[in-house]
Amino acid sequence: MMTKNRLEKTVLQTQEMFDRYGEINGDKDIIHYDDAYAKARGFRGTLGHGLMYTGYVCDLAAKKYGRDWHYRGRLTVKYVRGVCPGDQLVVSIEPDGEVQCKSQFDTTLVGSATLT
């Protein structure tokens, strides 16, 4: 199963999501949990975990490529901006495999999801 359509999903980001993801992966970096700390370093607020967004992209790639994604999938991403609580993150994969995450403020992740 491979779709030739653009796939997209929107995920509202919350601090609770950041906290729970950090519990699962063991990431204790304060930038994900302390709003004042993050703002003092020039961010709009705490930062989400990059691998969360990679997971969103992989979910769309699995929908696009079906079973083949799990055996022949290749993902390349670059994190270009932070994601903060309250962001409406739009995750998309184009027919050619180009992937992107974009908030209401800016593009946050770019890359590609293809089959080898």
In a domain, 1, yes or no: no
pLDDT value at residue 73 = 98
The domain tally of the chain equals 1
pLDDT value at residue 2 = 65
In a domain, 67, yes or no: yes
In a domain, 35, yes or no: yes
Q: Calculate the dihedral angle through the C-alpha atoms of 17, 21, 23, 24, rounding to the nearest 10 degrees.
A: 140
CATH number reported for the structural domain that contains residue 63 in this entry:
3.10.129.10
In a domain, 77, yes or no: yes
Mind listing the pLDDT tens digit of every residue in the chain (116 residues)?
A: 566 899 999 999 999 999 999 999 999 999 999 999 999 999 999 999 999 999 999 999 999 999 999 999 999 999 999 999 999 999 999 999 999 999 999 999 999 999 99
Alpha-carbon gap, residue 49 to 53, rounded angstroms: 7
Please indicate, yes or no, whether the overall pTM of this predicted structure exceeds 0.85: yes
Domain extent, residue 62, equals 7-115
